[in-house]
Chains A and B, each alone.
Chain A
Amino acid sequence: AQSVTQLGSHVSVSEGALVLLRCNYSSSVPPYLFWYVQYPNQGLQLLLKYTTGATLVKGINGFEAEFKKSETSFHLTKPSAHMSDAAEYFCAVMGAGTSYGKLTFGQGTILTVHP
């Protein structure tokens, strides 16, 4: 079984400041990890994913995340926040074996960007 914990249900930053959204996972097998963004009343948009290979993953809109196996973490960062980044962000881990393809999501982190 796998699980995901997102530390901080709300994060508030100033425009232009660093964005850091934390995600820790638990998985019995090498994980596939994802970050999604959700705008109000909309579906999910994939920001980035880690499957294998390079542990620093770059995604859309200037976001990146680093897979750290020793820390079981996959934190999402962006050097400079924009107002348009305000949304809810979900970290997710994909199952393996018979659960392959199924996503387990974290609780979500609402990002607020203020001028």
Chain B
Amino acid sequence: GAVVSQHPSRVICKSGTSVKIECRSLDFQATTMFWYRQFPKQSLMLMATSNEGSKATYEQGVEKDKFLINHASLTLSTLTVTSAHPEDSSFYICSAPPPRGAYNEQFFGPGTRLTVL
């Protein structure tokens, strides 16, 4: 099946710094990617939809200025957590549907564990 990678797998940063997380589709092109956040012992919550060549769309309650999304190519979406604070510590997971818009199946990345000190 299709493969989605994320980098880094883990990151620890100081409060106030910015962190960039990459999501790549390795063997297919993805015009759309989704970013989810998972707090400890909780479920996944959709944060935003990343669209290649256009602005991301954010779910209600997600601060677009804090979570910057850039979908610069058909295989790469980045999520930048700006001025990170301890409450941003979470597991961030991206997903991408396969080509031809078959959204009834999505491929998930392995996730990025962010810890803000």
**Chain A residues engaging chain B, CB cutoff 8 angstroms:** 32, 36, 41-46, 49, 51, 90, 94, 100-108
Asked if A108 and B46 sit within 8 Å, CB to CB, the answer is no
Asked if A42 and B104 sit within 8 Å, CB to CB, the answer is no
Asked if A43 and B49 sit within 8 Å, CB to CB, the answer is no
CB contact under 8 A between A44 and B49, given known A100-B103, A103-B34 = no
Question: Contact check: which of A43, A94, A101, A105 meets B43 at CB < 8 Å?
Answer: A105
Chain A residue nearest to B94 (CB atoms) is A43
* Total count of chain B residues near the partner, CB < 8 A: 23
Q: State the main secondary structure of chain A at its contact with B.
A: strand
Q: In the bound complex, what is the Cα–Cα distance between A23 and B105 (angstroms)?
A: 19
- Which of chain B's residues have a CB closer than 8 A to the CB of A101? 32, 34, 49, 97, 103, 106
CB distance from B34 to the nearest CB of A (A): 7
Within 8 A of A (CB), among B92-115: 93, 95, 97, 103-106, 108-111, 113
- Which of chain A's residues have a CB closer than 8 A to the CB of B42? 107-108
- Which of chain A's residues have a CB closer than 8 A to the CB of B95? 44, 103
Chain B residue nearest to A6 (CB atoms) is B43
